[in-house]
Structure 1
Amino acid sequence: MRAASLALRVAPGPARRPARRALARLPERDPHRGRGGASRYGPRGVPAPAGVPGAPVPGRVLHLVTNSLPYRNAGYTVRTHAVARAQRQAGLDPQVVTRLGFPVAQGIWDGRPAQVVDGVPYHRLLPLRMPGTPEAALARNAELAARLVERLRPAVLHAATDHPNGRVALALRESFGLPVVYEVRGFLEETWLTQGPGRGRDSASYRERRALETHCMKAADLVLTLGEAMKEEIVSRGVPEDRVRVVPNAVDEVFLQPLPDPGDLRTRLGIDPGEMVVGTVSTLTPHEGVGTLLSAGAELRRRGVPLRLLIVGDGPHRAALERQAAGLGLRDAALFTGRVPYAEVRAHHAVLDVFAVPRTAERVCRLVTPLKPVEAMAGGLTVAASDVAAMGELVEDQVNGRLIPPGDVQAWADALEILLYSPNRRRMMGDAARARVARDRTWAHIAGRTRDAYRGLGAV
Structure 2
Amino acid sequence: MTRILHVLDHSLPLHSGYTFRTRALLKAQQGRGWDVRGITGNRHIADGPLVETADDLVFHRVPGRSQSRIAPLAEWRDVRHLSSGIDALVRDWKPDLIHAHSPVLGALAAAPVARRHGLPFVYEIRAFWEDAAVGNGTGLEGDLRYRVTRFLEDRAVARADAVMVICEGLRQDLIARGVSPDKINVSPNGVDLDLFGDPSPPDEALRSQLGLDGAEVIGFIGSFYDYEGLDDLIAAMPLLVARRPKAHLLLVGGGPRADALRAQAEASSVAAHIHFVGRVPHHEVERYYSLTDILCYPRKAMRLTELVTPLKPLEAMAQGRLVAASSVGGHRELIEDGVTGTLFPPDDPAAMADALARLLADRAGWDERRRVARAFVERERSWAKNVVRYEPVYQQLLTNGHVVRTS
> TM-score normalized by structure 2?
0.92
Q: Measure the CA separation in 2 of the matches of 1:432 and 1:183.
A: 30
Letter in 1 for 2:151: A
Q: Secondary structure at the match of 1:457?
A: helix
Residue 3 of structure 2: which of 28, 37, 60 is its match? 60
* CA-CA distance at 1:188 after TM superposition: 2.0
- In 2, the alpha carbon distance for the partners of 1:238 and 1:303 equals 50
Partner AA of 2:18 in structure 1: Y
2:304 aligned partner = 364
Give the deviation of 1:379 after TM superposition: 1.3
- For residue 421 of structure 1, report the CA deviation from its aligned partner: 1.6
Q: What is the 5 A alignment of 1:236-255?
A: 236-255=176-195
**Cα distance per residue 1:34-82 (max 9 Å; x no partner):** xxxxxxxxxxxxxxxxxxxxxxxx5211000111111x21101111112
- Give the fraction of aligned pairs with identical amino acids, expressed as a percent: 35
1:270 aligns with 2:211: yes
Give CA-to-partner distance per residue, 1:390-430, whole Å, 9 cap, x none: 11111001111111000111111111011112112222111
Please give the residue correspondences for 1:296-375 in structure 2 after superposition, counting only pairs within 5 Å.
296-375=236-315
Q: Which residue of 2 aligns with 1:77?
A: 19
Q: Please list, as runs of the form range in 1=range in 2, the aligned pairs for 1:21-420 lying within 5 A after superposition.
A: 58-70=1-13, 72-99=14-41, 101=42, 103=44, 106=45, 108-110=46-48, 112-126=49-63, 130=66, 132=68, 133-196=74-137, 199-201=140-142, 203-262=143-202, 263-272=204-213, 274-420=214-360
Q: CA deviation at 1:304?
A: 4.5
Q: Whole-Å Cα distance in 1 between the matches of residues 373 and 78 of structure 2?
A: 44
Counterpart code for 1:168: A
The CA distance in 2 between the partners of 1:307 and 1:279, in whole Å, is: 11
SS of the equivalent of 1:346 reads helix
Secondary structure at the counterpart of residue 134 of structure 1: helix
CA distance in 1, matches of 2:268, 2:183: 49
Residue deviations 1:338-363, cap 9 Å, x none? 22222223322221111111000111
1:164-188, CA deviations, whole angstroms, 9 ceiling, x for partnerless residues?
1011111112210111111100122
In 1: Cα distance, 2:249 partner to 2:178 partner: 44
Deviations 1:197-255 (A, max 9, x none): 98231x11010011111211222111111111111112112211111111111111135
**Which segments of 5 or more consecutive residues in structure 1 lack a partner in the other structure?**
1-57
Q: Any conservation in 1 of the 2:133–2:139 contact (CA below 8 Å)? A: no
Contact residue 308 and residue 330 of structure 2 kept, 8 A: yes
Separation of aligned partners in 1, 2:282 and 2:174: 31
CA distance in 2, matches of 1:134, 1:160: 17
Closer, same or farther: CA 254–305 of 1 in aligned 2, 3 Å: farther
Aligned-pair CA distance for 1:136: 2.3
Matched residue SS, 2:309: coil
SS in 1 for 2:290: helix
1-structure distance, mates of 2:340, 2:47:
45
- Are the equivalent residues in 2 in contact too, given 1:157–1:179 (CA < 8 A)? yes
TM norm structure 1: 0.82
Amino acid at match of 1:74: S
Partner amino acid, structure 2, of 1:136: R
Q: What does 1:420-459 correspond to in 2, within 5 Å?
A: 420-458=360-398
CA distance in 2, matches of 1:180, 1:452: 14
Q: Measure how far apart 1:195 and its partner are.
A: 3.7
Q: Which amino acid aligns with 2:7?
A: L
Of stretches 218-227 and 328-337 in structure 1, the one that deviates more from structure 2 is 328-337
Structure-2 separation of matches of 1:435 and 1:109? 39
Q: Tell me the residue number matched to 1:23.
A: none
- Distance (Å, rounded) in 2 between the aligned partners of 1:233 and 1:313: 31
Q: Provide closer, same or farther for how the CA distance between residues 376 and 237 of structure 1 changes in structure 2, counting only shifts above 3 A.
A: same
CA shift at 1:131, angstroms? 5.2
Counterpart Cα distance in 2 of 1:388 and 1:340: 28
**Cα distance in structure 1, aligned partners of 2:364 and 2:212:** 22
CA distance in 2, matches of 1:415, 1:192: 30
Determine if contact 2:137/2:226 at 8 Å carries over to the other structure: no
Matches of 2:191 and 2:205, distance apart in 1? 25
**SS of equivalent residue, structure 1 residue 97:** strand
Deviations 1:229-285 (A, max 9, x none): 11111211221111111111111113542211112332232211x210011122101
Q: Is the 8 A contact 1:183 1:225 kept in 2?
A: yes
Do 2:228 and 2:297's aligned partners in 1 also have CA atoms closer than 8 Å?
yes
Structure 2 portions without partners, runs of 5+ = 69-73
Residues 354 and 384, structure 1, Cα contact 8 Å, conserved in 2: yes
